[in-house]
Amino acid sequence: MYNETVMEHFQNPRNTGEIENADGIGKVGNPNCGDVMMMYIKIEDGKIADLKYKTFGCAAAIATSSVASEILIGKTIEEAEQLSKMDIVEVLNGLPEAKIACSTIAPDAIRAAIEDYRLKANS
């Protein structure tokens, strides 16, 4: 069902965990399948210097979270906001059609974490 790239990221997810005193935290869930993701970001000079996440969900949700973390570290805030589910699916060399919805969790989480960062920065 899943290709080798998806299975590698599912079995060996990158950048998992939490960042203490994160600059931004995003929590999102997919009501259709029950996946939940917490994303923590550290911002330095307008770029994502560090990113950690915790994902509760299926193999596709975990794999897409892992790939997204690799894509996002080092990106500017503006570049990170442009991340799409299809960017993630492409890096994973595809997902089964029924699992493409799982790939929305990371783009939604990064936007929520950036929003939280902006709220904190402006208060």
Q: Which of 8, 13, 14, 33 is catalytic?
A: 33
- Residue 33 is a catalytic residue: yes
CB atoms within 10 A of CB 82: 12
Q: Which of 22, 61, 102, 112 is catalytic?
A: 102
Q: Name the residue among 122, 5, 71, 21 with its Cα closest to residue 109.
A: 71
- Residue 58 is a catalytic residue: no
Alpha carbon 32 to its chain's center: 18
Q: Do 19 and 41 contact (CB within 8 A), yes or no?
A: yes
Distance CA 17, CA 119 (A): 23
Catalytic sites, residue numbers? 33, 102
